[in-house]
Amino acid sequence: MTKSAFESYEKVYWAKSKPIGFVFSFCSLMGLAVGATMVYQLLHMDVTFHLPAYALLMSIGYQRQRLEMIVFTEGLILSCLGFPLAWLVGAFLCGLVVSYTSLPMILSPQMVVTTFLLILFMCSTSAMLAMGKIKDADPADLFQ
Amino acid sequence: MNSVHDVANPSVLAVGLNHFYGDGPERMHVLKDICFEVQPGEFVTLAGPSGCGKSTLLTLIGGLKSVQSGSLDVLGCSLKGCSPSLLNGLRTKIGMIFQSHHLMEFLTANQNVQVATEAVIDRSFRARELRCLELLASVGLKDRANHYPSMLSGGQKQRVAFARALACNPQLIVADEPTAALDAKTGRDVVAILRSIAKERSISIVMATHDPRVMDMADRVIGIDDGRLLAPA
């Protein structure tokens, strides 16, 4: 058995045959779901708070798609602003685990890029769900 | 009456207009067989008590609700069965002024006006900024262009709202009780500014109000009560 084949065997063994592998994967998925929910809540609240402003923009001729793009852009900005901080905290925690347990944990560039893409996916999905709230903005309500 | 009136092409023409809220036994008939017209450059006031249907009529004229029964032509566009994209296009030709100014608190007066130009005017940022400054100057607020709404008085905020309504070069202005939150003098002052700008640019105005202090400033007063237009006295 070559060294790389042994490494692959070990990874599969720990990821699929041991409970720790399942727990780790489950926690990652939970993190993604909780993150998506939080971003959705944040954007939903933001849209709700600004509904009169969206209604006003619709009354002066802004198309609904343009307003939806504003929410989508907010989601992308959130992901871009949140990622550097998450990366720093992740790298710090990773270093902490390495120093306490001597486990060979490496935050590779590939993992960093994958994580960023997952965050982008998470935030854009949440933003698309939050966009639905814009339909509640009725410019006729401004004539009250 | 204004000399620029074009009787053949009124800005607003309503014939047999009816509107209802709700369904079934709770259905309310809020506008009943409304027939009237507004000529280009004309300043018309809709006068009547609260709840008589003034605001509903304005929302129909502004293309914010669909026409259910009867016909309504606004700026040459028939609103009966009009598609959402056409309604959206029509709204870029109509300036709207509300009872509350609805300014965005996080934007300066100039930025609040610019928001309205972004939807319709294909110009550079600088050109739009200069146009908005001109509009603010026309309502007497040039020196307040960089003030936030929280730094402006009620009358000044309403004047910014007027400038915002004028920003898209409208052919029609729809105003819903714009003086309701203002004292008598400020109310007359802001309506006088709006009137003079509208006359200068041949913009029609339809203003709903039950404020007797500003009614005499209109070319024509149309009474409305319980959803019906009253015959002229």
Contact B104/A at CB under 8 A: yes
Q: What angle do CA B101, B102, B103 make, to 5 degrees?
A: 90
State the pLDDT confidence band at B11, using cuts at 50, 70 and 90: very high
pLDDT at B8: 62
Tell me: the pLDDT tens digits for B74-130? 998 999 888 888 888 888 899 999 888 889 999 999 999 999 888 766 667 788 888
Q: Is the pLDDT of residue B6 over 60?
A: no
Q: Looking at chain B, which runs of residues are DSSP E strands?
A: 12-21, 28-38, 43-47, 69-74, 77-78, 94-97, 172-176, 204-209, 220-225, 228-229
Residue among A53, A56, A61 minimizing CB distance to B88: A61
Cα angle B178, B184, B189 (rounded to 5 degrees) comes to 65
**Which one of B91, B98, B168 has the shortest CB-CB distance to A143?**
B98
Would the CB atoms of B64 and A144 count as touching at under 8 Å? no
Give the chain A residue whose CA is nearest to the CA of B62.
A59
Q: What helix, strand, coil percent values describe chain B, rounded to 5?
A: 35, 25, 40
Maximum C-alpha span of chain B: 56
Tell me if chain A has a CB within 8 Å of the CB of B92. yes
Q: Chain B contacts of A140, Cβ < 8 Å? A: 59, 64-65
> Which residues from A are below 8 Å from B59, CB to CB?
140, 143
Average pLDDT score over residue span B48-62: 91
**Could you tell me which chain A residue has the CA closest to the CA of B95?**
A60
pLDDT band at B212 (very low <50, low <70, confident <90, very high): confident
What is the distance in angstroms between the Cα of A18 and the nearest Cα belonging to chain B? 54
B107 at the A interface (CB within 8 A)? Answer: no
A100 interfaces chain B, CB cutoff of 8 Å: no
Give the pLDDT score at B204: 94
- Model confidence pLDDT, tens digit, residues A123-139: 999 999 999 999 888 88
CA distance B109 to chain A (A): 15
With a cut of 50, list the residues of chain A below it in pLDDT.
Answer: none
Give the pLDDT band (50/70/90) at residue B4. Answer: very low
Q: How far is A77 from chain B (nearest CA, A)?
A: 19
Look at A53 and B104 and tell me if their CB atoms are within 8 Å: yes
The pLDDT tens digits for B117-145 are: 887 666 677 888 888 898 899 888 889 99
Distance CA B184, CA B169 (A): 28
Asked if B64's CB is within 8 angstroms of A140's CB, the reply is yes
- Cβ <8 Å between B55 and A144: yes
To the nearest whole Å, the CA of B89 is away from the closest chain A CA by 6
